[in-house]
Amino acid sequence: MESTINNEKDIRICPVEKAGILDHSIRRFFQNPEKILKPFIKEGMTVLDLGCGPGFFSLEIAKLLTDSGKVIAADLQDGMLEKVSQKIKGTELEQRITLHKCHEDRIGVTEKVDFVLAFYLVHEVPDPDALFRELKSILKPNGLIFIIEPKFHVTKKSFDSMIDKIKDIGMEIIDGPKVFFSRTIIAKNLS
């Protein structure tokens, strides 16, 4: 779920025209999807890649799922979903990746998921409280949300505030693994 540009709150999303920076090979050196996600992705899982952009993480998640499981690649922008579609068309990954267009005010996924990846996304959402409640509602019991936020956009104070909001809805916070120049947490659904 990504917001549109909002001048009052200065909330911005990466436009489709700049998707190449999200998919650059140099990024893989600093934010290797397989290295970051391999400890969490297991065969048979349903994984939501929220704010999937051009599929940098979605494709790697699908590969980690091997022959079973599914990735829901969700984004607000049709252009980003089209980029993912073009990458997977005619490949074995096409069977494991479902494209989902988010609504302006909600994700809109009704399927229960085991794992949610929210990479550099929460700071772009105008109502994080609503986002966290919706994520909890679609997360299976003991399911995990992996939140990664950029240090250059999200202060320690605002990140700690986000953690408090997640705890308030009844999720357990687990320290996330280190990701280059990022703040991370894992939230576990206790219900």
For the segment 18-22, the average pLDDT, to the nearest whole number, is 59
**Continuous segment of H or E residues that includes residue 62:** helix 58-64
- pLDDT over 80 at 188, yes or no: yes
For the segment 85-111, the average pLDDT, to the nearest whole number, is 96
pTM for the model stands at: 0.89
Residue found by looking up tokens 């894992």 in the block: 186
DSSP reduced 3-state for 94 = helix
Q: Residue 20: how many CA atoms within 13 Å on its side-chain side?
A: 2
Q: What's the N-to-C CA distance of the chain in angstroms? A: 23
Averaged confidence pLDDT in the chain = 89
**Continuous segment of H or E residues that includes residue 76:** none
Residue spans per domain, the chain: 16-189
**Continuous segment of H or E residues that includes residue 114:** strand 113-119
The CATH homologous superfamily to which domain 16-189 belongs is Vaccinia Virus protein VP39 (3.40.50.150)
Q: From the CB of residue 45, how many other CB atoms can be counted at a distance below 10 Å?
A: 20
Q: CB–CB of 34/156 below 8 Å?
A: no
Tokens of 31: 């934010």
pLDDT confidence bin for 31, thresholds 50/70/90: confident
User: What pLDDT does 20 receive?
Assistant: 58
For the segment 60-76, the average pLDDT, to the nearest whole number, is 94
Q: CB–CB of 173/185 below 8 Å?
A: yes
